Amino acid sequence: DWPIGFTMAVNVSGRELSETGFAGIVDEAIRRYDIAPQRLCLEITETAFIGAWGGIQETLAALSLLGVRIALDDFGTGYSSLAHLQRMNVDIVKIDRSFVENIGRSDRDRAIVAAVTAMSHALGMSVVGEGVETDHQLDTLAGLDCDQGQGFLLARPMSAEAVAELAGGNRLGG
């Protein structure tokens, strides 16, 4: 079993998401590799939703029924629309690093992060601040009630072997 709270995040392109049967492919992988669905998070950028909204919305609903978590990646840099956010079936909003980078020096960036965090929480979504490289950024995000941080301060990119070692094994279940 993986440590409590350990989740595997996988980037998914708009093209993959709009493929017929994508949710079935994910379901098959979950079953084949005995992955606890709540431990899998599919990360999708805002631009993935452009042009294929209907089909993608159905796929997201099917993935949610499987128990897979969905994250809206790089929020704030694409076509951020409150109407889209309201209709999207996502669990997590990941605030783009461009807002986190100057969060300690820019009142505007701090205000944007605070507003996105409050709005996301009101919609039942958790929030991740991306690109955390300093303790000050992490502390500021925590002070704004951001749920999690992601970035080089916390961990560098790792090989599959390093992740398995960190997790205490190579099983994704639990």
DSSP letters, 67-85, are T-EEEEEEETSS---HHHH
Active site annotation includes 130: yes
Which residues does 37 contact at the CB level (< 8 Å), separation at least 6?
Answer: 30, 66, 67, 68
Coil, helix or strand for 66? helix
98, exposed or middle or buried, with CB in 10 Å at 0-12, 13-18, 19+?
A: middle
Hey, how many other C-beta atoms are within 10 angstroms of the C-beta on 19?
A: 14
Determine which one of 58, 130, 161, 165 is catalytic: 130
In contact, 88 and 56? CB cutoff 8 Å: no
Catalytic residue IDs: 130
